[in-house]
Each structure stands twice: as structure tokens, then as C-alpha cells.
Structure 1
Amino acid sequence: MVAARTAPNRSVRFGGERGVLDRRGLRDAAVLASVLDDTGKLTVGPEVSAVQTASAIRPSFVVDSALTSLDVGGWQGLGPEAVPQVDLGAWFTDPDWTGHGGESVTAFVARIRGATAAIDAEVLVVAGPVAQALLCGAPDNFFSTEVRPASVHIAAL
């Protein structure tokens, strides 16, 4: 399950998933609660948006810092228009690129897959990039894997 929307998500900012839910995000999180039964262990990424989404679903869950979203280094909080186009191009085409000073997509996907292999949970609530890492198949497919805030996906962990 992908965490609901934040204001920085809406305005397309790197790291926007780390903010608080906006009004629509709060409403969408409440809808998620109506489609998920309250059985099974719920594990949540540490971002505020993931914790707020999980709180709307049920009162009891485990926060796992190993499910932290992609580290975008110096791009944190920036919009794509503030990043040199050559750097954006490199990031989107080379999953090993780390020119922003953060984590490569390859390292991120490996980290998230390793973390989920060690988790005993039936339901995860995670930031969008974490869901992409779980669903992409391979790092080369990360950016073509689309997830939306407050969406539900099924994956074998």
C-alpha cells in the first residue's frame, strides 16, 4: 500500500513523500481503511506520510526504518526544474548514478528488497519510491513503474 498524498507530492518535489498528508491525503487514507481488514501484521515505513496513512487504517502497526525512501541527496525538496537537465537525464537512464549525492536506484532497490525479505508482515504501508522498488522487477524498470499515492498493490515478498 502506498502512503497517501502530501502537499510536496502534489507539487512534485524530490523527497515529497517525507511530508505530512494534505487534506486529500487524509481523506484518501480514510478510504484505504475501509478496504483493508484489520487482520495481519501491518508494517510501515518511517516517513510521516506512511505513518499517518497507517494510523488512519488501524491503531496498531510497526514502523521499520529499513523501509526508508530513496535518499536523493542534495535534491531533497527541489522540483525537477531546479536540477540541471543533464543530471536528471543521467539519473533517469543510469540506475547506478549518484550525482545528487544520495543513493543510486540500484542500491535503493537492493536495500528495499533485502529489508522486505527480513520482514514478517502481511501488509506494508510505504512511500511511493519504496513501492516502486518492490514492484519494478529490476532497477532499469524503476522509473517506468508507476504507483499513485493511496494505492494498493500486491507483491510477493
Structure 2
Amino acid sequence: MALRLTLLAASRSASVLDARFADSRPLDPAGWHEVRRAKPALSYLAAAELRYCSPSARCRETAISLGLAPLAQPALRDCDMGRWNGFTLQQVTAREPRAVNAWMADPRMTPHGGESLVAFIQRIGAWLDTRPVGDGGWVVAVIEPGVLRAALCYALKAPPHAYWHIDVQPLAAATLSGRAGEWSLSLQT
């Protein structure tokens, strides 16, 4: 029987204009408000047999606020952006425009000294593929938006450049069903 894995993007920790690489900040007031407003519609997630989250503060806070009591998974951390961690894309582009262009053009590049997009997608894919299938079951993971994009690229066998064309809003959910290397996507409202 296939595993069902619901991936939920965490609520916001900053405005879009202040989104930072490897942002470890907790939920901001707007993020808390979003979670409180969405909690009734997302309460069904607490029925999952296994509940995980990315190790960031905002993912833990989102999951706990939804009553999920998650287990933090280091493998679900956001992409390691090396020396760019903590900076916005705008700040890095102002300092290193060629490096940013190279990084966005070639998914194998690591001008920041961290993890390449290809390596990031593979790491998230390895986590997906090692979830126990057993007799089916349901797993929920509250994750960073970038982790959700990487998971979708991996599950759909999309080229790494597809990562840049997936827009993940706070509290967006996607459900994958299947097993290692054979995933199907189901989108919910």
C-alpha cells in the first residue's frame, strides 16, 4: 500500500521583501495570525500517524500551533546557502551579482560555498524515499517553502530549473502518495 505524505509550508517569519536565506527567525505577528486563522481548516493534519517538521523556529512553531507535536528532522532543513545565510537575495545580488546569476543559471553551482540546488533536491528526495511505507499510513511534515519546492521537483522528476518556477505561499499544502521513486502529487485547497 502507498504512503501518503502531506507537506505543509510553514507560516511566515518575515515579509516577502525581508525573506532571508536560512532564515531561522520565529513566526512574526502576521505568521501567528495566519496559523490561528487556518487552524480549523488544518486540524485534520493532527490525525497523521507521523508528524515531522524542518528544524527552523517557524516550522516548529507552525506545527506546534496546529497541535501536531512534530519531530524535527535535520534532513528537512532549508538549503545551506553558505556565506549568504542570513542575507536577502537583494542584499546578495547587490554585493555579488555575477555569483547570483551563476547560481540561478546552473543548479550545480555553489558560489556561496554551501549546497548546490541539485544536492539540495537530492537530499530532500532521499528523505522522501526513506519514509517507511508499511501498510500505507499518513505522514505530515511542516517545512520551509524551499523544501516543499525541492520535494516537488524530486517527486515529479522535474529538472532542477523547475524549482525557480514553483511559488509556495505560507501554509500551502501538497500531498504526495506512493513510495521511493514513485510519487504522485495531489493538491488541496
**TM-score in terms of structure 2 length:** 0.76
Q: How far is 1:138 from its partner?
A: 2.9
Runs of 4+, deviation exceeding 6 Å: none
CA distance in 2, matches of 1:82, 1:39: 42
Bigger shift: residues 92-101 or 60-69: 60-69
Contact 1:67 1:112 in 2 (8 A): yes
Q: Which has the higher strand share?
A: 2
Which of 65, 70, 84 lines up with 1:61 in the alignment? 70
Aligned to 1:142: 163
Deviation digits for residues 29-69 of structure 1, max 9, x if unmatched? 22332122120122111111100000111152221111111
Q: Which structure has the larger Rg?
A: 2
What is the number of equivalent residue pairs in this alignment? Answer: 156
Aligned to 1:39: 47
Which of 1, 12, 36 lines up with 1:5 in the alignment? 12
Deviation digits for residues 116-156 of structure 1, max 9, x if unmatched? 22234521100111001011233121111111122222233
Contact 2:9 2:171 in 1 (8 A): yes
Bigger shift: residues 52-61 or 26-35: 26-35
**Compared CA separation, residues 44 and 99, structure 1 to 2 (3 A):** same
Contact 2:51 2:68 in 1 (8 A): no
Aligned to 1:116: 128
1:39 maps to a residue whose letter is A
Which of 70, 84, 87 lines up with 2:79 in the alignment? 70
Where does structure 1 lack aligned partners over 5 or more consecutive residues?
none
Contact 2:149 2:166 in 1 (8 A): yes
CA RMSD of aligned residues (A): 1.7
SS in 2 for 1:108: helix
Contact 1:46 1:68 in 2 (8 A): yes
SS in 2 for 1:148: coil
Where does structure 2 lack aligned partners over 5 or more consecutive residues?
1-7, 133-137, 178-182, 184-189
